[in-house]
Structure 1
Amino acid sequence: MRLPATLLVLLLLAAPLAGCLGGDDGGCSDGSGRLKFVEVVSDPDTITVANVRFGDLDGDGSEEIFATHPIDSEIAHVDCSSGTCVEERFSEGLAAPVRTHVADLDGDGVNELVVADIGILFPTSDLVGKVVILSFDENGGYTSEVILEGVGRVACAEAADLDGDGDLDIVVCIFGDTEGSVVWLENTGNGSWFSHQLDHRSGAIHAFPFDADGDGDLDIAVSLSQLSEEILIFRNDGIGNFQKHVLASSDNTSFGMSGISISDLDQDGDFDILYTNGDTLDMDTEEGFDPHVVHGAAWLENDGFGGFTEHELTRVWGAYANTPFDYDSDGDLDIIVGTFQLDMVYSPITYMHIDMVILINDGNQNFTRQDITDGMRYMLTMDVGDFDGDGEDDLVGGSHRLGFPGDAHRMIELSWGVDGQACT
C-alpha cells in the first residue's frame, strides 16, 4: 500500500542576463556547444523554489516572473520590462506559498495575485492550507486577504469563470495528507465565495480549467496522487455542474503521479493534456523496483470533442515538469521534462542522474529523446513566456533543491542557440 504521508508536494521560477551556469559558453548538452543555463536573478541564499510562473500583474502588456519560496514564506516577483530585471518579494499573510495565478478577480481592471499556500511543505494532516489573494494599489503597496482556510494543505488555486456568469471563480487543490479534496470557489460577488466539492480524495496536485470539448465552457483537468493515481476531467454543463471522468490511471502503488500541463501539442486547434509520473519520495517501493520502467511522461490527445487517447512519451525516473516549448525553432512543440532525482532514493551508481529530458518533435508527434546529465538539478518547475520583451518565447525554471547537493538555481533561463542558431 502506498504511504500517503511520505509524499512531499512538489509542484507539484537585459543586463542581468549574463553568465553561463552550465557547460561552456554557448554549449549544448549534446556536445554541439549551444545549451546555456543563464541566471535571471542571483541566488546567493540557495533558495528552494516550488513553482515558477509567468503573468502580467501590472497589466502593461509585458510578462513578469513569479517564483514561490515556501520555506522562506515568500513570493519573488521579477520584472525585466525596463531592460533590467527588478525583483521584489511578497510575504504578508503567507506561510508556505507554492503556486500563483494572476487574475482580475473583482473585474475592476486591476489584477490580483491568487496564491495557493500549503501551510507546511512536508506531510501533515493539520488543517494549515489556505488560499490568499494579494491586491495591489497604484503606489506599489499591497494587502493580503485569506478567502479559504481551515483546510488541508493547498497545492493549487486557478482562477476561471467556471459557471459562465461573467466573473472569475477559483478551483482549488486541497492536497491534504490522508484527507483532502478538489473544490471550486464560486464568486458570489462583493468578495464572497461559496465552496463546491468536486472530489473528496486527497492528493490533488494540479487542477487546470480549459475547454476540453469545444462547447464554449470550461472543464477542469486534475492530476491526483496519493492513494489514487489518476488523471481526471470534470466536464462542465456550462453553469458549474460537473461530471467526473477518469482519463488515465494506474494501480501500481509506486506510479507516482506528479503533475499535468495543458497545451495544443499537435497544433490541431484543441487542447491536449500532458502528464508526468515520477514522485520519488515513496519509501515503500517493492524490492527490485526499477523507476526507469515505471516513471515517465505521456500525453492525452484530444480529438476535438473531449475524447482523449493516451500516448507514451518517455520513461525516466523522477519525472516532474513537462513543458511544451519549441526547442529547435522549427514551428512545432517539443517537450522539456524536468526531474527530481535524489541520491537518497535511488543510488546514482545504479541509476545515472538525468537532470532533464528533451523530446524533439518531428512535427507529427514522433519524438527523439535527448538526455541532459550535466544541467541544473531538481528542476521540477518550468514555464514559458516572454520576460525580456523581445517577442520570442523564453523558458524559465527553478530548482526545488531542499538542501540537496548538486548544481541548482532558483530562477534560470534555459537558453538554446548562438546568434539565432537552434540547438539540433
Structure 2
Amino acid sequence: MFRSFFPDPKLFFFSAIIWTVIAIGIWFGFVETYQPFLDTLAGYAQQAVEGERPPFLTADKLLIYIYMALAGFGFAVVWMFLDKNTWSRWSVLGSTIIILVTYYNVQLSVFLNDWYGGFNDLLQKALSEKNSVTLEEFYSQLMTVAPILLVNITVLVLLDFFVSHYVFRWRTAMNNYFMDHWPKLRHIEGAAQRVQEDTQRFARIVEGLGVAFVRSMMTLIAFLPLLYTLSQNITEIPFIGKVDGSMVYVAIMSALLGTALLAIVGIKLPGLEFNNQKVEAAYRKELVYGEDRADRAQPATVKELYEGVRKNYYRLYFNYLYFNVARFGYLNVSSFIPLVALAPTVVSGTITLGIFAQINNAFDKVEESFKFFANVWTTIIDLMSIYKRLISFESIIYQDEETATDEAPQNA
C-alpha cells in the first residue's frame, strides 16, 4: 500500500515528523530572538503594497506562509532528489501541497473565528438597545466577511479536486504494484477482490480520512494557542476553579475520555469486519464458479456459505449495538461540556456575547481535533479491516522476496 507510492515509507514518514518538529522549533526560536527584525520586514512588505489587505494576508501572515512554503518544498525537493520514486511527484510533492494548502485554509478559519467575535458583539448591541445599530452598519459588517468566504470556497473546491487526483494516483500505484506480482498472488482466495475492490475502498477512505486528519492537526496548531489566550477571560471552571488555559485542558480531557471509551468498546469490530470480508469473498467466489460450471454453487454448498455470512453479520450488528450506545452518547453529551465549563463566567456577566462565541467556537475546533478518532471511529474500523486484508495479501510478495534473498548465496 505505501511501498508502491511513497519512497522508503518508514524513513519518509519518520523524517517528515522530525523535519516538522525542527522547522517549528526554528521558527519560534527565530521569532523570539529576532522579533524586531521580523517586524521591520513586515513593515517594508506592508509599504510595498498599497491599499488595505484582508487580515489573513497581512505582512506578518505572509512571512509565516513564505516560511512554511520554503520548509515544506525544501523537504520535498530533498526527497525527490534522494529517492526518485516513479510516483514521487504525487506522493512527495503532492503531500506537501495538500498539507500547505490545508494549513492556509485553517488560517482562514482563525480569521472567521475573530470575525464572529466582532459580529456577535454588534449583534448583542443591536438586540440590547433599540436603534443602537443602523441597517447600514449591520450590512457593512456582513460584507466584510464576503472576501474570506469567496477565498475559502475557492480553496476548498481546488483542494478537493487535487486530492481526488492524488488518491487515484495512489490507487493506480497499488494496482500496478500488485499486477507486477500477479503470478505470485493469483492463487490466493479473493485475489481479484483485493486488487480491484480493496484498493478502491482504501483509496476512497484515505481521501476523506487522510485529509480530515491533516486538517485536524493543522486546526489544533492554529486554535490551541488561541483557545489558551481566550481562556484568560474565564473566571472559574466548576469543581476546579480558575486555571490558566482552563478550556484547553477541558477539551483535552473530554476528547481523551471519549476516544478511550470508543477504543475499548469497539476493540472487536476490526476483526469482525475482517472476517466479514473473508466469508463474503468465499460466498462470492463459489457463485462465480457456478456461472461456468454446473457442479459448483450447489444449493447445499451455497446455503452453508451464506450461513457463515449471516452469523458474522449478526455478531457484527450486536457489537455495533453497544458500540453505538457509547459513540452517540459521548458525541451528544460532549456538545454540552463547554456550556457547563463556561457557566460560572456566563452567569457572572464578565464576558460579552462576542467573546463567548469566540471561546465556544475555538473550543469546538480544538475538541473536534482532539476527538478526531472518536468522530471517525467507524471509518477507521473499516480502514483497519481493509489494511489487514491488504497487508496479508502483500505478505506473500515479501515472503517470496525474502526466500529469494536467503537462497541467493546458496545458489551462487
Query: Shorter-chain-normalised TM-score: which range?
Result: under 0.3
Q: TM-score, normalised by structure 1?
A: 0.20
- Greater share of helix residues, 1 or 2? 2
Comparing both chains, which one has the higher relative contact order based on Cα–Cα distances under 8 Å and sequence gaps of 6 or more? 2
